[in-house]
A and B are shown apart, each in its own frame.
Chain A
Amino acid sequence: MTDYTPAATGTGARARVQRFGAFLAGMVMPNLGAFIAFGLITSLFIPDGWVNKIAGTQTDVSTQISSVVGPLIVILIPILIAFTGGFRVYGHRGGVVGAVALVGAMMAPVALPWLTGISLNGEEVTRPGSIAEIGPTILAAFVLGPLTAWVLKKWDNAIAGKVKGGFEMLVDNFAAGIIGGAMAVVGLYIVGPITFWISQGLGWLANALISTGLLPLVSIVVEPAKVLFLNNAINHGVFTPLGIEQAADAGKSIFFMIESNPGPGLGILAAMLLFGPRAVRPTVPAAMVVHFLGGIHEIYFPYVLLKPILIVAAIVGGATGVLWEVIFNLGLVGPASPGSVIAWALVSPPDNLALNLVGIVLAAAVTFVIGALLLGFGRKESAVDAAIDLEAAQEKSAENKAAAKKA
């Protein structure tokens, strides 16, 4: 054991939260291609999408192609997430039983007469008549995918070595079939209704945050969490599922924009480029390209960790962007992942494109101005800053960490 492996357990609170977030995000992120296909088809072919807008009329071809949108979001994406959750716990067999179990939960609002939603905007709530009318059951997928795979894994471990030679395939296949089928029933009667109500509650809360104009306050949590490498956890563990629920209903969602706005990061990098410690300035231009165009936000986090006060700039800039988006009722049709300005443009509904891009510029400008102020426009560069070199900064962060651990 070297100094490099002191905390072999990695039990810090931050590591724990990161790990749980990575567990959720890990079910979503391998499937981002499906989300993006959904986003692109939506922005191109829905009734007020690009194709009809450019043609100036409702074209038949866009009506036909837009029939793909609903099944992608309410059927395929939740099943992919359940499969991936199961796969990560117990390989392909785990993925299969997880997907089977989810179908039970998906059908709960269709099959159960006592399960009705709450009214969000005064409209009467109608029960879905078929699978085409349900909402996306991502929360149920997060639960049933890994849980069902885990049950199968326990079963397989329990009977390992006890099966008579030649009967392995029979036992394996029927174990998976019976456990998957039984968990579909559990999904229908228990997990489906519970996650349905939780989703309804979250949807109500999200609507309340938007309609009261309090949504920009989430930046107070989101921006600091991002630079602690909780960006994927927050975006794909929380906002992507919320956004998908909203987009299935309204065609777009503001929740896809909150974490993925590349504006605050660009503002931080611009402030660092002009007014940051001189030793790090040369590394900034390449970072700006990777961040803003490539959408890899991780690249700006270390600059904030180097000058933690900059988080204030990111929070205010991020909140400015969200406020702008709330005021003009903006949204993206699918998750912008990675959070690049190009991804934003591609998943913006035609009517929102210009204002969405303004939201990025505003967030960047506000972050930059506040960041520049906090850095004293570079003039106040103290002896400490002038002497800053990365190795010293690293030692310091190691010390901070050691101190934090003791505390």
Chain B
Amino acid sequence: MTTIDGSSVKKVIVACDAGMGSSVMLASTLKKQLAKNGVTVEHSPVASIPADADVVVTQAGLADRARATVPDIPVVPFQLFLGDPVVTKLVKAIQDGTTVEV
């Protein structure tokens, strides 16, 4: 388990294999949810996650590759692209500035 301090998150990266399909979809959802909090949400392929990300969100099947790309950035793996509780928890923590165990 790792603890993420929601108040320190300024840049969220949503990663998928090609960085063109599912990550774009989830990133646009998160962008709307986090717009008020001044948090940048971007999408990228797992092979080229930008090093200045504070947290990486990706599907569990791609999490190993995300960790290999950015070993020092916490990776939050989720199961479902829509309505996954882990993603909801993370969003809430960032909105409220609280910490979350993921």
Q: Which residue of A2, A229, A286 contacts B17 across the interface (Cβ within 8 Å)?
A: A229
Which residue of B is nearest A4, CB measured?
B2
Q: Are A12 and B64 in contact (CB under 8 A)?
A: yes
Q: Are A229 and B64 in contact (CB under 8 A)?
A: no
Check if B35 is an interface residue, CB within 8 A of chain A: no
Q: Are B25 and A397 in contact (CB under 8 A)?
A: no
Q: Are A397 and B65 in contact (CB under 8 A)?
A: no
Q: Are B47 and A228 in contact (CB under 8 A)?
A: no
Q: Are B61 and A229 in contact (CB under 8 A)?
A: yes
A2-B74, A18-B17, A302-B59 in contact; A290/B25 too (CB < 8 A)?
yes
A26-B45, A232-B18 in contact; A7/B68 too (CB < 8 A)?
yes
Q: Are A302 and B81 in contact (CB under 8 A)?
A: yes
Check if B82 is an interface residue, CB within 8 A of chain A: yes
Interface SS, A side: helix
Q: Which residue of B1, B18, B79 contacts A393 across the interface (Cβ within 8 Å)?
A: B79
Check if A299 is an interface residue, CB within 8 A of chain B: yes
Which residue of B is nearest A299, CB measured?
B81
A8-B71, A22-B47, A391-B85 in contact; A3/B1 too (CB < 8 A)?
yes
CA distance A5 to B19 in the complex (A): 21
Check if A287 is an interface residue, CB within 8 A of chain B: yes
Which residue of B is nearest A284, CB measured?
B82
Q: How many residues of B contact A (CB 8 A)?
A: 34
Q: Are A7 and B22 in contact (CB under 8 A)?
A: no
Q: Are A294 and B61 in contact (CB under 8 A)?
A: no
Which residue of B is nearest A283, CB measured?
B83
CA distance A295 to B17 in the complex (A): 15
* Chain B hits for A290, CB < 8 A: 25, 81-82
Task: Give B45-95 interface residues, CB cut-off 8 Å to A.
Answer: 45-47, 59-62, 64-65, 67-68, 71-72, 74-75, 77-86
Check if B38 is an interface residue, CB within 8 A of chain A: no
Check if B97 is an interface residue, CB within 8 A of chain A: no
* Chain B hits for A391, CB < 8 A: 85-86
Question: Between A and B, how many residue pairs show CB distances below 8 Å?
Answer: 116
A18-B62, A390-B84 in contact; A298/B79 too (CB < 8 A)?
no
Q: Are A302 and B68 in contact (CB under 8 A)?
A: no
Residue from the set A12, A18, A294 with the largest chain B CB neighbour count within 10 Å: A18
CB-CB contacts of A207-246 with B at 8 A, as 1s and 0s?
0000000000000000000001101110000000000000
* Chain A hits for B17, CB < 8 A: 18, 22, 25, 229, 231-233, 298
Check if B16 is an interface residue, CB within 8 A of chain A: yes
Q: Are B62 and A229 in contact (CB under 8 A)?
A: yes
Which residue of A is nearest B80, CB measured?
A302
A15-B65, A26-B47, A296-B21 in contact; A4/B74 too (CB < 8 A)?
yes
CA distance A282 to B74 in the complex (A): 29
* Chain B hits for A280, CB < 8 A: 80
Q: Which residue of B18, B68, B75, B81 contacts A287 across the interface (Cβ within 8 Å)?
A: B81
Which residue of A is nearest B17, CB measured?
A232
Shortest beta-carbon distance from A336 to chain B in Å: 13
Assuming A15-B68, A22-B45, A299-B82, what are 7 further A-B pairs, CB within 8 angstroms? A6-B67, A8-B71, A10-B65, A302-B60, A305-B60, A389-B85, A394-B77
Q: Can you give 15 A-B contacts (C-beta < 8 A)?
A: A7-B67, A10-B65, A25-B17, A286-B83, A287-B81, A294-B25, A295-B21, A296-B25, A299-B81, A302-B60, A305-B60, A305-B61, A391-B86, A397-B60, A397-B79
Residues of chain A having any CB pair with chain B under 8 Å: 1-10, 12, 14-15, 18-19, 22, 25-26, 29, 228-229, 231-233, 280, 282-283, 286-287, 290, 294-296, 298-299, 301-303, 305-306, 338, 389-391, 393-394, 397
